[in-house]
Amino acid sequence: MKQHITPEQLMELTPEQQQRLREWWKPAVGDVIYITDTILSVNDKLTMISCINNPFGKSGKENTIRLSCGGWCYKKECLIVLSIGQCIEFLQDEETFAIDRKNELTESFWQVLVNQLLLDNNELIDALWESIKEVL
């Protein structure tokens, strides 16, 4: 069973959708990420977070993300490669979409998910991803 979306699926998002995903995401050690900044020189574009540092103290500067493949980046230079659990968390997060549309979207989400799993024979992660793209 496939556990994460793919970098190719992340690239299906528009720049605006990518930004909304970044705004929702709170980086954590162990998250799988995809480096989107083409200028960064890293060994592997698909990597994990090994540490999160704030070298600037409490100055309000953005935290740096240390990469397991070596080097570092900022949140704005990467995207999270969502797992099944993170997809479910995203879709259940009340702040992801307007509260007045939550019930409507939740019902629609479950209908789409069941159809994709049973009728289209998709992997669970792929079905969840299709729902996330609709919300973003």
Q: Quote the percentage of the chain above a pLDDT of 70.
A: 71
Question: What pLDDT shows up at residue 105?
Answer: 57
Helix ranges, 69-121 (H): 84-92, 99-114
CB atoms within 10 A of CB 27: 16
User: pTM value?
Assistant: 0.79
Phi and psi at residue 132, to the nearest 5°: -65, -40
Domain 1-81, CATH class in plain words: mainly beta
Quick check: 64 and 55 in contact, CB under 8 A?
Answer: yes
Domain ranges of the chain: 1-81, 83-136
- SS3 state at 91: helix
